[in-house]
Structure 1
Amino acid sequence: MTQLTGKATVKVDGSELLTDVDSTLNLGGFSREFINGPRGPQGYRETPEAPSLTSTVRHTDNTNLISLSRITGATVIFTTDTGDAYVLRRAAVTDTVELSGGNIRLNFGGMGVERL
């Protein structure tokens, strides 16, 4: 029987983060907006979108919130439990870091993404 992806791990510059199972990888590329005229759709407009990754990280006594907030130029590897893996190159944390209920929501953007 085929295994389906159920969880993923996230590594930043070789160090695995203690994450929840809800990490989300967006490959980026182009978003398309369809433009309507008086008779209906006339075409679409493309807007470039950077690849991104969102993950919930658990807070422990070893977690350095300031270091997490300063991540730039990082190599971020997203690996699923089925063995599929992607690398986000020259990644940076895009939003301010906030600790809430023992969790930290990290949003990364990157200059490119590749499948390993």
Structure 2
Amino acid sequence: MARLGGTISIKVDGEIYNAVGNFTYNLGQPLRAGLVGPDGVHGYSETPQIPFIEGEIRDRREISLETLQNLTDATVTLELANGKVVVLRNAWYASEGTFNTEEGNGAFRFEGLSGEEIR
């Protein structure tokens, strides 16, 4: 049996961040929606989506949250337990920047111009 989930690694411009919990991502492929009329299905439309990687990270003394939150034109990589790597290019920080003190974690969301899955 192959490992499908579990351990992940998150990097921004090569710097590793401590991932917390579940991360989600979207490669930004067009979203298709069916078009229907009273005479039946006509086809579909496509709407662009913004590629993103999001989850939570742990705050560490070594990282600057201000620098993280001001990043633009970054490369973000999410390495998955199944061996895939999701790459987000020309990315910007897209979270409000709220972190908590109880567990020292906060929202992490980068959006970019392109997303790619490497196998």
Whether TM-score is above 0.5 comes out as yes
Alignment of 1:1-116 (within 5 A): 1-100=1-100, 101=102, 102-116=104-118
- 1:41-96: CA deviations, max 9, x gaps? 33221001121100201123334221121011111111012221121111111232
| Distance in 1 of aligned mates of 2:72 and 2:106 | 17
Unaligned runs of 5+ in 1: none
| Distance in 2 of aligned mates of 1:55 and 1:71 | 17
Percent identity of the aligned residues? 33
Q: SS where residue 66 of structure 2 aligns?
A: helix
Q: Is the 8 A contact 1:7 1:21 kept in 2?
A: no
Q: Is the 8 A contact 2:9 2:79 kept in 1?
A: yes
**Structure 1: 4+ residue segments shifted above 6 A:** none
Cα offset, 1:40, TM superposition:
4.3
Question: Residue 111 of structure 2 aligns to which amino acid in structure 1?
Answer: G
Unaligned runs of 5+ in 2: none
| Distance in 2 of aligned mates of 1:106 and 1:69 | 9
The number of equivalent residue pairs is 116
| Distance in 2 of aligned mates of 1:4 and 1:65 | 31
| Distance in 2 of aligned mates of 1:40 and 1:104 | 47
Question: Residue 80 of structure 1 aligns to which amino acid in structure 2?
Answer: L
| Distance in 2 of aligned mates of 1:106 and 1:88 | 13
Question: Residue 4 of structure 1 aligns to which amino acid in structure 2?
Answer: L
Cα offset, 1:8, TM superposition:
1.6
Q: Is the 8 A contact 1:68 1:97 kept in 2?
A: no
TM-score (norm 1): 0.86
Aligned Cα root-mean-square deviation (Å): 1.8
